[in-house]
Each structure stands twice: as structure tokens, then as C-alpha cells.
Amino acid sequence: MNIVFMGTPEFSIPTLTKLYRSHHNVQLVVTQPDRSKGRGRESTPSPVKQFALENNIPILQPKKCTDLEVVKTLGMLNADFFIVVAFGQILDKALLALPLHFCINLHSSLLPKYRGAAPINWSIINGETEAGITTMKMDVGLDTGDILLAHKVPINDDDDAQSLHDTLAQKGSDLVLETLNQFDFGSLEGTSQNIELASYAPKLKKEDGLIQWDQPAVKIHNLVRGLAPWPGAFSFLESKRFKICKTEIKSCDSSNQPGVILRISGCGIEVGTQSKKIIITELQPEGKKRMDVKSFLAGHKLSIGSKFEKQSSL
């Protein structure tokens, strides 16, 4: 079948790779315009564009995919399907009507739970033990279309947003191919979503990472996991901002000293919370690289009794 692929970040790459290597024909890749990155603000292509360049796949980079000329260009292709994986733009009714069959979206949650921009992060932040991937027949709503196929994935204790992202990207690529195969065999049936079970995963903001030390240790630990590597959980110590990159939970009686450093060793920095303790094992001082605690202590002095704060005192 003829496929127009719409995607942008690394999450899209496993699906695009498998489509390209399959018996299907990827006619065109549609991805976001190049972005300025780094200190030099150099124009950088998306991972999807980079893959397309390396494999001689035609590329379209519209600022707005709903513009009339873009819709006209896509309509002339007579594609069987549009496959959409983390594209980053909303498809309107005119675009959705272009494929000979329909548009398929790969979403990184078990719909209708965690509709929206950041399902992987919020599932970990909220302490879920199970995540998943869903293929969906797209409509004009936000992740509201009929469910085609879904696959469950456990969230392990040592998972963070990056590791779960990588797992779901691979599982999702298999699910997209299976969705097309079932369509080929005439066995693909959509199921409408139960709106009463719907929940949302809004786009993350940097301020979402501010640690509230008066919460239980498990909530802080899940926040750190759910925001790794971006935007990152953070706190302030002696007016300096620290990104807290990796933590463990230590069972103990409530210290009743939220944010207070209770013990320091090369294995970690123990900090009080509402219940149990957090052990910081990796952190990143402002303007420095991420490092383990042993490396950090080699060049920085900490004192027992110092306190992590919600904001800088400056």
C-alpha cells in the first residue's frame, strides 16, 4: 500500500524504519520544519527528516499542514493511508479525508487513558504500573478516534520516561505493521472509545519539575522518573538550582523533615520527605553536567542539616 508518513522526533523512527523496509511504499515523509538548536542556533533537521534524507524518501516540511497548497500536494498522491506518529501538528477534516482509506495514529498510551501530548511522562508521574501503545483511526478530536489495536507494556520499577519511551517506540512500530496487515486480511475492526474512562496528559512545562519535599517519597521518586531526561525534576539548595536526575526510596519511619539532608555518603544523599526518605544518586548542578553523587562530592561540599527548598532565596 502507498503510505504518507507524518512524524518528527526519535519516537517516530522505529515505525518509519519498519514501514520503509516492508513491502509497503513510503511515498512521502511529512515532518516539522528544521529547528534552531544549541548555542550557535544552527538549523537542525528532525530525526525523521534525517532518516528520509539518508534513504532518499521525498520530504515535505510545512509550517502548517492545513495550508491549502499542502493539502493539494498531499491529495495528489492518492495514498492508501496516512500514518501519523508524533508529528506535532493537528490534522483538520480536509487532511483526514485525503487517504483512500483513513489516517492511522500511533499513540503512546492505552486509550482512552492519557490522551494528549505527554502520556509516557504522566503515566510514570502518576505511579501507573502499566502503560501501552494504541493505533487509532483518526478523527478531528484530540486522540478521540476509534481504537484499532492496543498492546500493554508493564512499567518496571527502574523505568524512567526515556526507557519507557524507547520500549513503546519499538512495540508501536510492530503494532502499526500489524494494523496494516489486519486491514489487508479484512480483519481490522475499530472500537469506539469509552469517554467515561478518558484522562489527559497535558504538555509538560519546566515548572512541572519543581519538587515538593513535603510529599511522600514515592511521589517524588515518580516525578524524577517521569521527567527524566526532560524537563527534569529540580530543587534549590543554598540558592542554587539542582536537577535531581536519579533517586531511590529508603524505607524508614517518617523523618518529618521534608527537604532536609539527613545523611551523606558516596552512595547517595538522603533527604527527608513526608514519609520515608529519598536517596539522590545522580544530580546536575546548574551549568554543569549530570554526575553521580560520588563525583559530585569530590568537588562540592554539603552539610547534614542543609535543606532543599522549593525556590531560590535570592
pLDDT tens track for 140-194: 999 999 999 999 999 999 999 999 999 999 999 999 999 999 999 999 999 999 9
What are the extents of the domains in the chain? 2-197, 207-309
Q: Where are the extended beta strands (E) located within 47-186?
A: 59-60, 81-85, 102-107, 130-137, 147-154
Q: What interhelical angle do 161-185 and 13-21 show, nearest 10?
A: 30
Cell of 110: 492505552
- Residue 37 is predicted with a pLDDT of 78
How many alpha carbons lie under 13 Å from residue 73 in its C-beta half-sphere?
A: 16
Average pLDDT, stretch 33-47? 87
Band of the pLDDT at 314, cuts 50, 70, 90?
very low
CATH superfamily of 207-309: Formyl transferase, C-terminal domain (3.10.25.10)
pLDDT in tens, 80-109: 999 999 999 999 999 999 999 999 999 999
Q: pLDDT tens for residues 263-275?
A: 999 999 999 999 8
Amino acid at 311: Q
Q: Which residues contact 91 (CB under 8 A, 6 or more apart)?
A: 6, 65, 66, 82, 84, 103, 138
Quote the distance between the C-alpha of residue 247 and its chain's center. Answer: 20
3-class secondary structure, 175: helix
The predicted pLDDT at position 193 comes to 98
Which grid cell sits at 273?
A: 520527605
Residues 282-299: pLDDT tens digits?
A: 999 999 999 999 999 999
Confidence band (pLDDT; 50, 70, 90) for 42?
confident
Interval 62-86 mean pLDDT: 97
By the 10 Å C-beta count (0-12 exposed, 13-18 middle, 19+ buried), 246 is classed as buried
Query: What is the DSSP code string of 191-245?
Result: B---GGG--B-PPP-GGGGB--TTS-HHHHHHHHHHTTTTT-EEEEETTEEEEEE
Residue 313: pLDDT over 60 = no
Closest CA to 156 of 146, 148, 166: 166
Equal fold, 2-197 vs 207-309: no
Is residue 202 reached through a cis peptide bond, with omega within 30 degrees of 0 on the bond before it? no
What is the dotted CATH code of the domain comprising 2-197?
3.40.50.170
CA distance to 122, 143, 184, per residue, from 147 (Å):
21, 10, 17
User: Residues 24, 180: contact at Cβ < 8 Å?
Assistant: yes
Q: Going by C-beta distance under 8 Å and a sequence separation of 6 or more, which residues neighbour residue 180?
A: 1, 24, 81, 104
